[in-house]
Amino acid sequence: MGIVNTTPDSFSDGGAYLDPQAAIAHGCLLLEQGADIVDVGGESTRPGALRVSLDDELARVLPVIRALAAAGAVVSVDTMRAPVANAAVDAGAVIVNDVSGGLDDPAMLHAVAERGVGYIAMHWRGQSDRMQNLAVYADVVAEVRAELAARRDAALAAGIAGENLVLDPGLGFAKTAAHNWTLLAHLDALQSLGQPLLVGASRKRFLGELMTGRPPGERDDATVALTTLLARQGVWAVRTHSVRAHRDASAVVQRLGQEAVRTVQ
Ligand code: PMM
């Protein structure tokens, strides 16, 4: 899943694709690089970010979704708001990527169920301006698992089909670097919830910390290393700012996996 942030303030690419034409061109580039899905978002969720208005969010994402869907892309919309999800589906989006897992907008789960589109429910504990204060866990794996299980159950109860539902550990959302690493080391506990997993590690701060202060634009190699390991574990998708190297990494993992099966037979 390639990322197109039509925001002025996202942590890695904020401001680069605020102009719709630049965002559309970037989405097309990600498609050329082999993205299966292009994720279009109009609201930054970086730690400390403030909410954007509904009108601004709609104005940012809709022209980009319309153009990329018309170009043949499988488009997801990164939003917490049901009206944005609905308008995005009208514009051609087929997946709703909700970082709040349905907790921000009480109308979201029913809206998604009614439209019959895909839904990504991410683990989330509160808005970005206060999420770092919510990064308190006695057992991060058990608590994230239980809270994601509750979102899964709420989504299914609202009528979202099991085959349309993807879960996401929400790296960096109410989580410290240590929490992110612990979750990555125990993803099998989240896979046991029975839904496909999406992981969004791309260029995030915990990778910068590992490489002692490396800025976001220089964290892609570390992100690809993680993609390789995640592909081996069979995650459904990774959400990344660049695509080609991740595509290549997953092709290598897939080819080796086929070989392992063939030589055992
Ligand atoms: N991370 C960000 C935004 N949206 N969606 C999902 N499903 N998972 C994530 O980890 C996630 C997300 C923040 O990163 P960005 O500013 O690079 O978009």
pLDDT tens digit sequence for 10-19 = 888 888 888 9
Say how many Å lie between the CA of residue 71 and the centre of ligand 1. 23
Count up the domains in the chain and report the number. Answer: 1
pLDDT for residue 257: 93
| Residue 216 CB less than 6 A away from ligand 1 | no
User: For the chain, which residues score pLDDT lower than 70?
Assistant: none
User: pTM for the complete prediction?
Assistant: 0.96
Domain that holds residue 77: 2-264
Tokens of 42: 């109009």
Question: Residue 174 carries which side chain, given as an amino acid letter?
Answer: A
Say how many Å lie between the CA of residue 99 and the centre of ligand 1. 7
Residue 39: its H or E element: strand 38-41
Strand partners of residue 40: 4, 77
- Ligand 1 atom closest to residue 14's alpha carbon, by position in its atom list: 16
* Smallest CA separation from ligand 1 atom 5, residue: 99
CA distance linking residue 230 with residue 224, whole number of Å? 10
pLDDT for residue 46: 83
Question: Residue 202 carries which side chain, given as an amino acid letter?
Answer: S
How many Å from the N-terminal Cα to the C-terminal Cα in the chain? 33
| Residue 11 CB less than 6 A away from ligand 1 | yes
* Smallest CA separation from ligand 1 atom 9, residue: 200
| CATH code of the domain in which 230 resides | 3.20.20.20
Residues 132/174, Cβ–Cβ less than 8 Å:
yes
| Residue 45 CB less than 6 A away from ligand 1 | yes
Residues 43/58, Cβ–Cβ less than 8 Å:
no
CA distance linking residue 41 with residue 39, whole number of Å? 7
Say how many Å lie between the CA of residue 15 and the centre of ligand 1. 16
User: Dihedral sign, CA of 202, 231, 156, 161?
Assistant: positive
pLDDT for residue 128: 85
**Residue spans of alpha helices (H) in the chain:** 20-32, 54-70, 82-90, 108-115, 140-157, 177-185, 187-191, 205-210, 220-232, 244-264
Residue 104 DSSP code: S
DSSP, collapsed to helix, strand or coil, labels residue 163 as helix
DSSP, collapsed to helix, strand or coil, labels residue 89 as helix
Query: What is the set of active-site residues?
Result: 204, 239
| Residue 174 CB less than 6 A away from ligand 1 | no
DSSP, collapsed to helix, strand or coil, labels residue 174 as coil
| Residue 239 CB less than 6 A away from ligand 1 | yes
